[in-house]
Amino acid sequence: MANVNAKHYGSPEWWIESGLSLCVILCLGLTLAGCGGGSGGQTGQPPPPPSPSFSVVSTPSTPAIAPGTSSTFQVSITPRNGFSGAVAITVSGLPSGLSATPLSFSVLNAPQTVTLTAASTIATGNYSLSLNGTSGSLTGSATVNVGVGALSNFLIIQPLITQIVTRYGSTTQTQLQTEPWGPGISSYLLNFSVMGLPSGVTASFSPNPIPVGGTTTLSVTAPAGSQWMQGALFTVVATPSVSVPTNSLTLDLVIAPPPGSIPDNKTSYLRTDDTPRSIVYDAAHQQIFSSDYFLNRVDVVSTSTRQLVKSIPVLSPSGLALTIDGSEVLVGSDSQQVQAISTSSLQVVQSWKLRPISGTSYGIQTPYPLSDGTVAFRPSGYSVLPGDLAIWNPANNSTSLVSMPSNLGNIACFVTAGVQGTTVLVASCSEPGVALVYDNVHKNVFRSPPFSRVHPQCRSQPGRFAVHHFRRHLRRRTLQLSAAIDQYPNSSRPL
């Protein structure tokens, strides 16, 4: 039986369907060709790189000035995406009673100093001005807020040890920190210089100038042909950019010959010129970090070459601790600061100024990194926050105290953390001895077995500590104190 729906060759229906099929095939071929399909297609081009640009920067960002005086701030540019040209800057939008010199200038590599002058009749308050930059067709601008009012003074914080030791033909670095002193506005710059250096000895500061509250690194270089010198006093001077008194600091310079140059001097050991306060070993990089407290630096020694690799300037370094992942060394100090040194780049990669606890200042004797990213330490200073364990959170720079039981009282003088960073041992250094374990995971304090006198020696195994147990005649034996306190069921009650 014949199919009534069949299309016959040459019929109108046959031509319509054939035309539609051919159209679909042609459109598909054009689409593939346009998308780069087939051997003759072309690959897509990458997007063009971003255009060069710049931003205008004021240092400090909010300069201060007192009525009837002058002050200065610096204007610089931050290039982006390969920008390298000079920028023409104009100052505009000055309020009545406030003038600036110069009003127009060009900035390339070095910053430009701008002097502000305030009329004696200008009212106390906050004012603003504009910095407009042009380089060819590129533009950039910044708004500078100026605080007008009474100005605070400032201090150069004196290091505990004011002696600078350097060798012939070498450079020694030390950090100097500033802080505001007294009421008033402290948003101004300090320019550092030195006076009284011996002939041939040079000094520099980086960065310089710095805002009040900032830190600068002093580098002292002795020439190769120096003479052995001790007790050479020189003065560091900080000159403010506003009308407040200058401040100075006197330091003691020692220039010493290199190791091995003195007759009968031993060369089988590494000279550090100071007794290290703390030492940590970085096994991944085969290097030792030692804190030279009196020299304001952390030395890095290679265990393979037994040579000093680098001296890193750190203000009054005390205890050292390797972070859980081994990427950084945390440095405690008496100046309420913690600094992080990268174990790979051997540079200070982050610095924290810890906040006072209940309005009280303190030092960080030794930091102990914990598994949750916090850091445990005992606030140093036997008359400051005694008997307390402190937990510091670097993420938000907050510090909290873990109150110790009354039987520990004011005699806590040793703190150490377990190798996994989950437990902290707090011990006394008097008799009868008291040792407590703080569980950082469950936030509980557990009692320990009794000791006559306890000195935590090291973190021997996960969950265990090695301690010295002192008896009369200085006899001692090493004990293992379980962090879980499982072997002391009668005293494992959380406090």
CA–CA dist 119, 69 (Å, integer): 7
Q: Please state which CATH number belongs to domain 153-256.
A: 2.60.40.10
Position 439 scores a pLDDT of: 81
Please, what's the b/e burial string for 454-491 (b: 16 or more CB within 10 A of its CB; e: otherwise)? bbbeebeeebbbebebbeeeeeeeebebbbebeeeeee
CA–CA dist 324, 419 (Å, integer): 8
pLDDT in tens, 352-390: 998 887 777 788 888 999 988 999 888 875 444 455 688
- The residue-averaged pLDDT of 415-430 equals 75
- The residue-averaged pLDDT of 408-422 equals 69
Q: Is 29 helix (H, G, I), strand (E, B) or coil?
A: helix
Position 342 scores a pLDDT of: 96
- The residue-averaged pLDDT of 1-7 equals 48
pTM (two decimals): 0.48
Mean pLDDT of the chain: 79
CA–CA dist 336, 354 (Å, integer): 6
Position 260 scores a pLDDT of: 67
Selection from 167-181, 382-396, 454-468, 479-493 with the highest mean pLDDT: 167-181
CA–CA dist 154, 425 (Å, integer): 40
Burial level of 359, CB count in 10 A (0-12/13-18/19+)? exposed
For CATH 2.60.40.10, list the domain ranges present in the chain.
Answer: 53-148, 153-256
In CATH, which of 3.40.50.300, 2.60.40.10, 3.90.320.10, 3.40.50.720 is domain 53-148? 2.60.40.10
pLDDT in tens, 426-464: 777 666 667 778 887 877 766 554 444 444 444 444 445
pLDDT in tens, 266-282: 555 677 778 888 999 99
Give the residue, 192 or 16, on which the prediction is more confident. Answer: 192
Position 366 scores a pLDDT of: 84
Please, what's the b/e burial string for 16-55 (b: 16 or more CB within 10 A of its CB; e: otherwise)? eeeeeeeeeeeeeeeeeeeeeeeeeeeeeeeeeeeeeebe
The CA distances from residue 380 to 160, 322, 375, in Å, are: 14, 20, 15
Give the residue, 192 or 333, on which the prediction is more confident. Answer: 192
pLDDT in tens, 461-476: 444 544 544 433 333 3
Query: pLDDT > 70: what percent of the chain?
Result: 74
